[in-house]
Amino acid sequence: MKQFFPILFLVIFLGILISANIYLTRRFTFYFDLKSSRYLYLTFASVTVFMIAGIIAFSNAASGFANLAYSAASIFMGFMLYLLLAVLAVHLLSVFVQLQPRILGTASLALAVLVTTLGIWNAMYKRVTRVDIPVKGLKKEVKIMHLSDIHIGHFWGPKTLQKIVDKTNQEKPDVVFITGDLFDGKIRLNKASIEPLKKLSAPVYFVEGNHDGYSGAQEVKAKLREIGVSVLENEVTHFGELQIIGLNHMRADHPNGGNPERPTIQSTLSQLNIFDGPPTVLLHHSPDGVEYANRHGVDLYLAGHTHNGQLFPVNLLIPLFYKYNKGLFNYKGTHIYVSQGAGAFGPPMRVGTISEMPLLTLKPE
């Protein structure tokens, strides 16, 4: 049955897109009293094809034209989402308040533009989230800046990273952990893009994310090592009192058999030389396999990946897919902190979520 899920998802997705295009065309034909809706159908269909094709075709391309096409497609995707929601909201309002159709149409467009603009600004604004976490066996406080999902690429570059570095240094952390998706595509995959990391005033540890893999994980890691970042690949290291486990991006286990040769969190942790006793922090891109981390005595599991859905109303659905979707959780004594991410993927927007830089203070319990 599961083998049909991708086909089912594609059918549902296409059905939603076609229905949305028909609905928007009919509403704007009514709003502006158009004699024919043919050109509106063509416009909305063309924008939809451009959005999907632009993101798929140019996400990993590095030319100036590709950057322009991907950027426009991504912004259009966010705008069209909020245009649909704005029209739905105005349509509902018109049931209770009688207004001229042209006013309803203008209000829908204005609302979509406003939400899109504020969403872009909100994604650019990085917020430091301060959280205290008690840890057994810790003798002295440790201040951690947890960075995740920066997504250097078509929208964000070294200037954005420099702002993140400056905010980090202002907080004077003892150590910086980056839990993946530093890069998003090859367009800015160069040493100059990550030069700001050299200015961090604390040691930096990095584990890969899925988008680093799409961009070229080994190239990403090589460039980070060149500037002095400690890259962890399924290994254990130590910082002060902390035992640090760094894992590549992988599945939690093989629930349905799967390929036994592919590493999982379950199998990898069993092969590592993890000491029983020191306060232990595990770094992994996605918040998976928490139960296996708990079995190996992990005190704090740091992850990102979810973006908390990034855009409304997706953020309302994300808990259905990730049990640990944002913020601090506890599983049988193992603390889990899932960052919403400091950047954005796809539309460079955040609506109903924030671009987050968690500052975690580990305190002796």
Check pLDDT > 70 for residue 3.
no
Domain spans in the chain, listed from the N-terminal domain onward: 2-123, 126-364
What is the architecture, at CATH level 2, of domain 126-364?
A: 4-Layer Sandwich (3.60)
Q: What confidence score (pLDDT) does residue 32 get? A: 94
**Cα-based distances in Å from 286 to 33, 109, 181, 198, 290:** 49, 37, 10, 26, 10
**DSSP category for residue 185:** S
- What string of DSSP letters covers 286-338? S---HHHHHHTT-SEEEE---GGGSBTTHHHHGGGT-SS-SEEEEETTEEEEE
Beta bridge partners of 357: 128
Integer Cα distance of 115 and 352 in angstroms: 11
Write out pLDDT tens, residues 148-181: 999 999 999 999 999 999 999 999 999 999 999 9
- Give, for 256, the enclosing helix (H) or strand (E): none
Residue 254 is predicted with a pLDDT of: 77
The pLDDT value given to residue 316:
95
- Answer whether residue 2 shows pLDDT above 50: no
* pLDDT (0 to 100) of residue 365: 84
Banded pLDDT at 259 (limits 50, 70, 90)? low
Angle between helices 5-31 and 101-124 (to 10 degrees): 130
Mean pLDDT in residue range 324-336: 97
In the prediction, which pLDDT does 14 show? 85
Q: What is the reported pTM?
A: 0.92
189-242 pLDDT, tens digit each: 999 999 999 999 999 999 999 999 999 999 999 999 999 999 999 999 999 999
Higher model confidence: residue 259 or residue 237? 237
Residues 69-98 pLDDT 10s: 999 999 999 999 999 999 999 999 988 988
pLDDT of residue 258: 59
Best CA proximity match to 150, nearest among 327, 312, 355: 355
Query: 363 with 135: CB under 8 angstroms?
Result: yes
Q: What pLDDT does residue 62 have?
A: 87
